[in-house]
Amino acid sequence: MTDAVWTDIGAFDAIPRRGARVVCTPQGCVAVFRTADDQAFALEDRCPHRGGPLSQGIVHGTSVTCPLHNWVMSLKTGEAQGADEGRAQTFPLRVAEGRVLIDLSALADRQVLGKAS
C-alpha cells in the first residue's frame, strides 16, 4: 500500500457551496465537493453508471445527483443510492488552515481512472 500523498489542491473558499472543483492528474480526475453546511468530500469524477461527470451534478445534503441519468451517489461512501448499484472511488480529504488537502496515493495505485468530460 502506498503511503499517503497529501496534496494541496487549493483554498476551501474557492469551492462554491453545493458545488465542486475538479483536480486532474495523469491518472485521472477527482471531484472535490463542498456541501451547503461546509463539509468537503473527494470522489472520482466519474459516475459508476456510464461515466458521467459527477462534478457537474447537483449537490444535496451529502449526496450528488449525476447530470446524465440522475443516479444519486453518497459523497461519504461513493455508493449509488436506492435501487442503483455501483460506487465511485472516494479519496481521503482534510481541510487545514483554509486549504483543501486530498490523499492522491490511491490514484498512484491505479493505471487509469478515467477523464471528466
By the rule CB under 6 A, 29 interacts with ligand FES = no
The helix or strand, by DSSP H or E, that contains position 107, with its residue range, turns out to be helix 105-108
Choose, by CB under 6 A, the member of 10, 12, 19, 49 that binds ligand FES. Answer: 49
Name the minimum Å distance from CB 69 to ligand FES.
3
By the rule CB under 6 A, 71 interacts with ligand FES = yes
3-class DSSP state of 103: strand
For ligand FES, which is the closer residue by CB, 53 or 101? 53
Compute how many residues bind ligand FES; rule: CB under 6 A.
9
By the rule CB under 6 A, 78 interacts with ligand FES = no
3-class DSSP state of 26: coil
User: Residue numbers of the site for ligand FES (CB under 6 A)?
Assistant: 47, 49-52, 66, 68-69, 71
